[in-house]
């Protein structure tokens, strides 16, 4: 028999890794979208600033560092939530909630606008988090329901803002 010296080590590692259910995450992705009767450039100009959330969410927003690009940190909800921007394109940004009610879940959000025909665009909000950090099935279900409703509502507000003459 020809035994490779690493074979036993790799097999043992595979068994060890397979037996770690405590590390199992339960990632949730929520994608909400709405069609807007304006170009992507026009929509982004109205709703895409990192602190425009103060208008479409009707809350407070201030930068604690940065000027609106990757690495900028915003504080919203009178300082209760802190969100660093971790990615950005011409018509999108992604943030991570480092302080706030969803911080323990690794909550990330992406606001994006994409062209969708002549003079139209699709505005989307994608949420991503680990619901295994929430204490119970009831709390997990309530958070999914809350986030689904709240972010669809916010997209409606942004759509109205973007379509105003």
pLDDT tens digits for range 105-155 = 999 999 999 999 999 999 999 999 999 999 999 999 999 999 999 999 999
Do the beta carbons of residue 26 and residue 128 sit within 8 Å? no
Q: What is the DSSP track for 97-141?
A: -SBSTTGGGT-EEEEEEEE-STT-EEEEEEEEEEGGGSS-HHHHH
Tokens 């309530």 sit on residue: 142
Q: Which CATH class, in words, describes the domain spanning 24-163?
A: alpha beta
Q: What does the domain layout of the chain look like in residue ranges?
A: 24-163
Please check the confidence at residue 79 and state whether its pLDDT lies above 90.
Answer: no
Rounded to two decimals, what is the model's pTM?
Answer: 0.84
pLDDT bin (cut points 50, 70, 90) of residue 17 is: very low
Tokens 């997209």 sit on residue: 155
Distances (CA, A) of 93 to 44, 67, 90, 135: 11, 14, 8, 29
Please check the confidence at residue 72 and state whether its pLDDT lies above 80.
Answer: yes
Give the three-class secondary structure for 64. strand
Q: What is the pLDDT of residue 24?
A: 83
Q: Round to whole Å and give the CA distance between 103 and 33.
A: 24
Give the three-class secondary structure for 14. helix
What single DSSP character describes residue 22?
G
Q: In what order do the strands lie in the sheet with 73-76?
A: 27-36, 121-130, 108-115, 92-96, 81-89, 73-76, 61-65
Q: Round to whole Å and give the CA distance between 54 and 51.
A: 6
């Amino acid at each position: 028999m020809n035994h490779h010296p690493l074979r036993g080590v790799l097999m043992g590692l595979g068994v060890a890794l397979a037996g770690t259910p405590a590390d199992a995450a339960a990632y949730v992705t929520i994608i909400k979208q709405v069609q807007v009767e304006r170009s992507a450039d026009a929509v982004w100009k109205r709703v895409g600033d990192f602190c425009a959330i103060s208008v479409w969410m009707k809350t407070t927003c201030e930068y604690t560092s940065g000027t609106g690009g990757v690495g900028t940190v915003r504080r919203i909800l009178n300082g209760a939530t802190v969100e660093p921007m971790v990615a950005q394109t011409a018509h999108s940004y992604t943030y991570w909630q480092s302080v706030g009610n969803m911080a323990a879940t690794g909550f990330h959000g992406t606001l994006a606008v994409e062209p969708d025909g002549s003079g139209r665009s699709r505005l989307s909000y994608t949420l991503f988090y680990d619901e295994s950090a929430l204490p119970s099935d009831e709390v997990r279900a309530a958070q999914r329901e809350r986030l689904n409703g709240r972010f669809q509502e916010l997209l409606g507000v942004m759509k109205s803002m973007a379509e105003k003459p």
